[in-house]
Structure formats: structure tokens, C-alpha cells
A and B are shown apart, each in its own frame.
Chain A
Amino acid sequence: MDQTGLGILVPVTNRPSNPRVRRAARVLALVPALLVTSATGVAFAEPPATWENTPPVSGLHVVLLLVMVPLALLALITLLVCLPSMSKGETYHPGQPWRGESEWFGGPRTGLEAVDSAVPPALTTSGPTRGGASGRW
């Protein structure tokens, strides 16, 4: 046993002893599947004579059903998605300049005037400090 511990890996990685046996086993495993699928004949079926003949469908009808209905659904879903933000009156759109006035929720009664008269917080290098996080978008 060598000092690096790599020696322990040798008995774990088993090399294929006999590739011929493996190949034979693979073929043997496939044979039942092939047999079953090839043994069945092609299925033929005709509509029963009691079924009534379907009338021919016009092209306009097909277009109406397969094109117009999905388009109408598309329009409806788009409208439903856009409706909430339209009704909420979102004024902020990313990429456009912000025109709103500053607003402070839960701030002091005097608003931003208090900030100008505030003493800047003492910078302490030891002891408990403030924390937080920053981000951009």
C-alpha cells in the first residue's frame, strides 16, 4: 500500500475481463424485445359499416377552427396578462428615466429636512456595527 492512498483504487476499478461475454449478453438481452415487436402483424382496421359517412369539411371551416380560434385565445391571454399592470397604473418602466418625486415610507415626519440637520454618524471601527447590502439592477 503506497502512502498516497491511490493504491486502494486499483481493486475497485474492474477492467472488463472478457469483452466477448459482455457482447453476447447484450445480444441476448435484445433478442426478446426484437422478437416481440416483429412477431406482431400490421394492424388493419376499417370503420364499421354502421358508422355514418362524415360530410366533407370546407376549407373555410378548417381555417376558422384551426387558425382563428388559437389567435383569439392568444389575444385573450395577452389581454389578461397585461390587464393587471395596466389597471395598476405602473409608472416605472425599466430603462426610462425616473420622474417621480422622492418618497419616504416610515421616515421622520419632517422628511428629508431631517437628513440635512442630522449629525453624521460616528465612524466606529470596533464594537457592534451597522450592516446591510447594496445592489444594482
Chain B
Amino acid sequence: MLSAKQYKSGVKPIWCPGCGHFAVLNAITKAFAALEQAPEDAVLVSGIGCSSRLPAYINSYGFHGVHGRALPVAAGLKVARPDLNVIAMGGDGDGFSIGGNHFLHACRRNVDIVYIVMDNEVYGMTKGQASPTTPARWEHSKLTPHGPEVRPFQPCAIALASGASFIARGYSGDPNGLAHMLFEAVQHPGFAFIQVLSQCPTFCPEQKQWKETVHLEEVCTDDPVKAAAFLHGDDGLSKGIFYRQPRPTWPVEHPDTQPTNLRKSFEI
């Protein structure tokens, strides 16, 4: 049985001091310790961005992949190797902008993987531009001096509408609560989506306030109508598991389309 610390690799994170992604790293190692996860049976797949560096910091298999493409890589891996615990991850730009369409279809397909989005509402790696989840009035970038002036993307509501079967939101200021969410998400049979409010102290120092404003909501339901009603009234700062309804995962098993049978159908 490994301790949480033993799931960390020897690679030192290069995130800024105070970055919320440290908390996500700690939450993953704590969840793995609780799950007694064999390091060789887990794979962390990421895209590009500050948060996507995370697989290098964990003592397991990792794939630091192509921008926005963590989900198709992770889904393909899980379909090929259903025995592995596959966790995809990335940031709000990677997941909701360039990877946005993959997000919709991953929710819809319900492949049995976990997807963690470390959402700091900013493009941190490229020095602080507006992302899909940036508040409309965020005026900290010279590229958008009046703020992006568009409504932020609503990840949890969109995940629900797209068919995700497990939807949660965590907070980097609560790594233990996030570890618990991950523990549940890994054991959920199907696509489990966790949005993490992960503060960027460098480009969004105002996110320090999350410590006071993020609040726990114990509203978990298996009723999509109730979940939708909650998410549409949500202030974006609630944390908790909001929706959990197991449904058949993809790919669906068809005995008549096993490789041996397929081979027969092509015989002349």
C-alpha cells in the first residue's frame, strides 16, 4: 500500500507558487492512495497548457499529448485497454476551446474515463489571455481591454446536456474534498467530468477570493431535470457532485462483431 507521497514522481513541478494545480496533484495522489491504485495500472493523459504538465509529476503512466486532444487519446486507450484506469486532464482552454468538440462527444459516448479540467479561467501558459470560461468583464488582458464581453462557457451544464453521467465541481483550496470526488469519479462506471476551480495567482490574483466564496452544495441527484435546474441557477462557485446516473458505457459489446466473427464475415 503506497502513501500519497509515493505516487509523486521525482520531477519538480514548474507551476507558479500558489498555483491551484498543486492542489489537484495532491488530490490525485491522495485519491490513488485511498484507491490503492497500482501505479502501473493507471494512465494520465493530458493536452497542452500549464495544467497538462501534471502527468509528468505522477508516478504512473502518462501521455502529454496534443493540444485539445486529451479526450480522444484517453478514450481510444480505454477502449483498447479497458483494464486500465484512464484519467484525462487539461485546462479550460485545452478542454473547452480547442478541445471543445471532443468534450461534447466524450460526454455523449460515455467511455469509462475520468476527465479533470483545471479551470483557472485564463490562458496562463501564454501569459494571461481570456479563455472560454473567463468572466465577461475580466479586464486584465490588453488583448481584451474591456473583457471578453461574452458569456462564459458553462462546463457542467454543457456536460449534462451532452450526456455525461457523472458531473462534479471541485476547488483547489480543498484538495481533500477534491480527492474524495476523484475517488468517487474513478469508481463511477462511465464518463466522469470534474471541473476544478484552480486558482491562477499570477494572472488572476482576484481568484484568492474563492477561499471565501466557493461553497459546498450537497445536491447530488440522478435526475437530469433536477440537475439542470440546479446548474442553470448555479453561481459557478458551488462545489460538490451535482449529477450521477450510471448508464451503458461505450463501446457497446456485440458478440456478433467480435474480431473472430468479423473475420468470418469477410471470408470468400
Are A and B bound to each other?
Answer: no
Residues of B within 8 A of A (CB): none
